[in-house]
Amino acid sequence: MKIRERGVAIGKLKPGKKNCITDVEGVMVGQVTLDYPLNDNDQYVCTGVTAVLPHGGNLFREKVPAASYVINGFGKTTGLVQVEELGLIESPIMLTNTFGVPAVTQGTLEYLLRTTPEIGDTTGTVNIVVGECNDGYLNSIRTLPVKPEHALTAIENANSEIVGEGAVGAGKGMVCFGYKGGVGASSRLIGKEQSSKDYIIGCLVVTNFGNKDEFPFSKYGLSEIPLETKETPDGSIMIILATDAPFSERQLKRLAKRCGIGLGRTGSHYSNGSGDIVIAFSTARTISHQSTGHVEVAHLIRDDHPLMNKLFQGAAEAVEEAILNSLSQAETTQGRQGRVVEGMFS
């Protein structure tokens, strides 16, 4: 159940039809969940992979404008150097556990090499973006259960339906404010009253941050839920933001910065050991890998149009709601060493 169905509404803008990142046309999400005990009784695999595809075509051949923003950089996200330099994303955006990053990068690379034979042969290489949180409280992360093939499966699973939330995919083993966290999604409509056109912002998060005493139950009209879980170490949050508004990479970074507002409103103080990272992209245009001309045409939203402030607001609201959705949807989950993390609403 999404948090909205529990009577908690975040912000003032309306969500899209699915209240999900897949409300942004073309965006697809696929997930793989790993959930099984290992021979050794105390070890448990409780992790997964989530793939976000900006569109359903060949992302290397048709790239999208993108930016990242590092709220707090205690994280191992890979691929951001080139995103920063060129303002583009040219691969699926992959999410997994911290130690799964190399395997997921490897699998995504293999997928791209298979689907795009010119990479590494007649043209250059490809930049792969993989984000992560540390699910090591529940997941036997040292056993490296995520394999390259899980990345491929996640990509192949991708579709435009409502995204599974809570303890699924990359969110399977995550912990948020001491409760079970995981995948959350949401969206915000920025309506025609602001301009001649409707725009939408979609958000997907993997939540793995926060201490219990940071979460503002009363602000959300929730009664505090008793919690037996011991204190978990500093975690992380990965935030993926999609929009169909025509943004440049500079503007996408501005939008990405507003995600920290939504995060802060849930109680986070961007703790030291947290990798709080935003990746934002626009689907309004694609940039072809090959071109005969030397000039591209870009339509870009004006920074000073009132629409921009509404889009900023939309980003902040979408992040806050996606985080709450991750908590609302996550069920009590058991992991390694018999550890249990309770769902906030279980």
Q: Using DSSP, state whether 340 is helix, strand or coil.
A: strand
37 or 264: CB nearest a second copy: 264
Q: How many residues bind a second copy (CB under 8 A)?
A: 88
Residue 13 tokens read as 């803008």
Least distance CB 292 / a second copy (angstroms): 10
CA distance 118 to 107: 18
228 scored as a contact of a second copy (CB under 8 A): no
- Indicate which residue of 140, 276, 282, 326 is catalytic: 276
Residue from 219, 224, 340, 346 in contact with a second copy (CB under 8 A): 219
- Indicate which residue of 68, 186, 236, 328 is catalytic: 236
160 or 313: CB nearest a second copy: 313
Angle at 39 between CA 35 and CA 45, to 5 degrees: 25
CA distance 313 to 306: 11
223 or 295: CB nearest a second copy: 295
Q: How many CA atoms lie within 13 A of 343 on its CB side?
A: 20
Residue from 40, 58, 124, 346 in contact with a second copy (CB under 8 A): 124
Rg of the chain over Cα atoms, rounded to whole angstroms, equals: 19
Annotated catalytic residue 236: yes
191 scored as a contact of a second copy (CB under 8 A): no
Site string for a second copy, 268-297 (x = CB under 8 A): xxxxxx-x-x-------------x-xxxxx
**Is the CB of residue 238 less than 8 Å from the CB of residue 296?**
no
Q: What letter represents residue 304's amino acid?
A: D
CA distance 265 to 316: 9
Residue from 54, 79, 145, 169 in contact with a second copy (CB under 8 A): 79
**Residues 6 or more apart from 207 whose CB is under 8 A from it?**
133, 171, 174, 176, 181, 182, 184, 237, 323, 326, 327
Angle at 244 between CA 90 and CA 289, to 5 degrees: 25
Angle at 189 between CA 13 and CA 344, to 5 degrees: 60
Least distance CB 138 / a second copy (angstroms): 12
Residue 124 tokens read as 């250059």
304 scored as a contact of a second copy (CB under 8 A): yes
- Could you tell me which of 14, 91, 110, 71 has the C-alpha nearest to residue 271? 71
**Subset of 198-217 contacting a second copy (CB under 8 A):** 213
Q: Select the span of 16-24, 64-72, 163-171, 338-346 touching a second copy (CB under 8 A).
A: 64-72
Residue from 92, 136, 173, 178 in contact with a second copy (CB under 8 A): 136
- Could you tell me which of 78, 60, 65 has the C-alpha nearest to residue 121? 60
Least distance CB 161 / a second copy (angstroms): 29
**Subset of 152-181 contacting a second copy (CB under 8 A):** none
Q: Select the span of 27-35, 170-178, 257-265, 338-346 touching a second copy (CB under 8 A).
A: 257-265
224 scored as a contact of a second copy (CB under 8 A): no
Question: What phi-psi label fits residue 7: left (phi over 0), alpha (psi between -120 and 50 degrees) or beta?
Answer: left
Q: Using DSSP, state whether 344 is helix, strand or coil.
A: coil
Annotated catalytic residue 276: yes
**Subset of 28-57 contacting a second copy (CB under 8 A):** none
Q: Select the span of 161-169, 178-186, 201-209, 305-313 touching a second copy (CB under 8 A).
A: 305-313
125 or 334: CB nearest a second copy: 125
268 or 325: CB nearest a second copy: 268
